Copies of this chain bind each other. A is one copy, B any other.
Amino acid sequence: MVNRRIAEILRNGQPDESLVVQGWVRTKRELKGFAFIEVNDGSSLANLQAVINQDLPDYEAIIKQINTGASVEVAGVLVASQGKGQRIELQAETVKVYGEADPETYPLQKKRHSFEFLRTIGHLRSRTNSFGAVFRVRNACSAAIHQFFQERGFLWVHTPIITASDCEGAGELFSVTSLNLKNVPRTENQEIDYSQDFFAKPTYLTVSGQLEAEVMAMAFSNVYTFGPTFRAENSNTSRHLAEFWMVEPEMAFCDLEGDMDLAEAFLKYIFNFVLEKCPEDMEFFNQRIDDTVLATAENIVNNQFERLTYTDAIKLLEKADFKFEYPVSWGLDLQSEHERYLAEQLFKKPVIVTDYPAQIKAFYMRLNDDEKTVRAMDILAPKIGEIIGGSQREERLDVLERRVVAQGMKPEDLWWYLDLRRYGTVPHAGFGLGFERLVQFMTGMGNIRDVIPFPRTPQNAEF
C-alpha cells in the first residue's frame, strides 16, 4: 500500500484506492458499531475522515486509545463518503496507534482556546487549525519570495548576524559576547577588556543586512537577503518582535522608479502565490480571523499602486475632511493614521509615498537636488499601513560623506561602505520588507507573536 499525504488524498483520491495515512487524531465520534476519526498530518487544514468498524480486531482497545492528539497509522481503502463535508473517506483495515494523548492532561481538547493561552504551549499550538494555517501560509510566503527573486536572477546572500557596526542606529542593540558576565574583565583604566572577548571588540546582533547587501550588489548587480534581524527595543505591543525576519533586495544600476516597480511586482507576486497555493487556509482566515483578508489581498493583486510625493501627500492630508490625532505638517513623519487615510479613504488601494524630508530618513538615502528631500519610498496598503520601506542609495562619495558627518557618525567607521562609492560607484536602490508583518497582514492575525513559531519579546524567550 502507498503512503500518501492527506492534502494530496483529499485533492486526488479516488474510491477503491488502497493507501496508508499517518497523522494525529483531531476528533473521534463513536456510534453504534463503528467510529469516525478525523486524521490530520499538517499538509492541509482539512482532515481525512477514517471509518473504523467494530469488526476490526481489538476494536474496543484501539478506540479507547485514539483520543484527540493521539498519533496513528491507518491503512485502508478510499470510499465515497455518505456524510456531508467530505467527498471521500477512508475505510480502515488496520489501525496502529503510535502514541496516545491522555485526555486528562493533553491541553488541546476540542474546545476553542485563546491565542494567549496557546502562546504558553508554543510547542503544541501548531497542532491547531489556526496555527496550522498560519505556518503553511508563512511557508508559502517564504517560497514565493525565493521563487520571485531566483526567477529574476537575484542571488540570495547571507549577510552577517553578528556585527561590529552599529551604524544603522535603528533602536537598541543586543550585545553578543563570550565574556563571563559575572566577572567582566577590565583593562588598567577600568574599561571593558574586549581583547578577551571572542571578536576582540564589542559586537551586536544585526538590525539590517542592507549595507552588506550593497557590497554584494556592487559585484552581482541584483541580490537579496532573507534572514533574521534584531531589536532590543522594550516594546510590548502586538506589532513588535525582538527577533524577526527581513527581506532586503538591493539592485545596482537601479533608481527609485525601478525600485518601486520591483517592490510592486514583488508584493503582487507573493499575495497571488499564496492565494493560489493556500486557498483553503486563506478562506479559513477570512471566515474565522478577519473577514477582510481576501479583499485586501485581491486589492493588492489587482490595482496599480498610486505613486505620489511626500509633499503632495502632506497637501492632501492638510485638505482632508478628517480629524487626525497627530499633526500634519511638512517635515513631520507620517503617522499610521495618516498612512491609513491615504490608502484606505483617499485612494482605496496601495499607495507609494516618495521623496521624504531628508532629516527624518537615514543617511544613506539619495539626496534630491532640492537638498531637502531624499529618494525614499514607503508602500502603504489598505488595512495594513506601511509594509515596505526603501530608497535609492546615495552613490556620490562627497554627498554621502557630508551626510555621514552631519548625522554624527565617523566616516572612518564606514570606510568599506564609502569605498563602494570610491571604486566603480553606480546608482543603486533597494527596499526592506518585515516578513512577520507581511504574514500578519496576509492572515489577519491580530498579534505578531502568532505568526512566528517561537516569538522573542520582552521577558520571553521560551522554547
Contact = CB atoms under 8 A, between A and B. Distances in A.
Interface of A: 5, 7, 22-25, 41-43, 69-71, 73, 98-102, 105-106, 122-124, 126-127, 131-132, 135-136, 138-139, 142-143, 146, 150, 153, 155-165, 172, 174-179, 181-182, 184, 191-192, 198-201, 203, 205, 212, 215-216, 218-221, 227-228, 230, 232, 234, 242-243, 245, 252-253, 395, 416-417, 419-427, 452-454, 456, 458-463
Contacts of A153: 5, 7, 43
Return the 3 tightest CB-CB contacts between A and B, nearest first: A42-B220, A99-B425, A126-B219
B124 A423 contact: yes
A139 B156 contact: yes
Contacts of A135: 155, 157, 216, 219-220
Nearest to A200: B459
A234 B426 contact: no
A192 B179 CA distance: 13
Contacts of A218: 24, 126-127
B215 A126 contact: yes
A453 B175 contact: no
Copy tally for this chain in the complex stands at: 2
B22 A243 contact: no
Given A5-B221, A425-B98, A199 B156 contact: no
A160 B243 contact: yes
A454 B160 contact: yes
Nearest to A427: B98
Nearest to A245: B158
A213 B346 CA distance: 45
Given A199-B459, A461-B160, A155 B177 contact: no
A429 B453 CA distance: 20
Between A98, A230, A253, A424, the greatest number of chain B beta carbons within 10 A of the residue's beta carbon is seen for: A424
Contact of A453 (B100, B158, B199, B462): B158
Between A162, A219, A253, the greatest number of chain B beta carbons within 10 A of the residue's beta carbon is seen for: A219
B425 A219 contact: no
Given A178-B232, A243-B162, A425-B71, A456 B199 contact: yes
Between A122, A135, A143, A176, the greatest number of chain B beta carbons within 10 A of the residue's beta carbon is seen for: A176
B463 A416 contact: yes
Contact of A424 (B69, B191, B230, B395): B69
A420 B221 CA distance: 46
A50 B353 CA distance: 39
Contacts of A164: 461-462
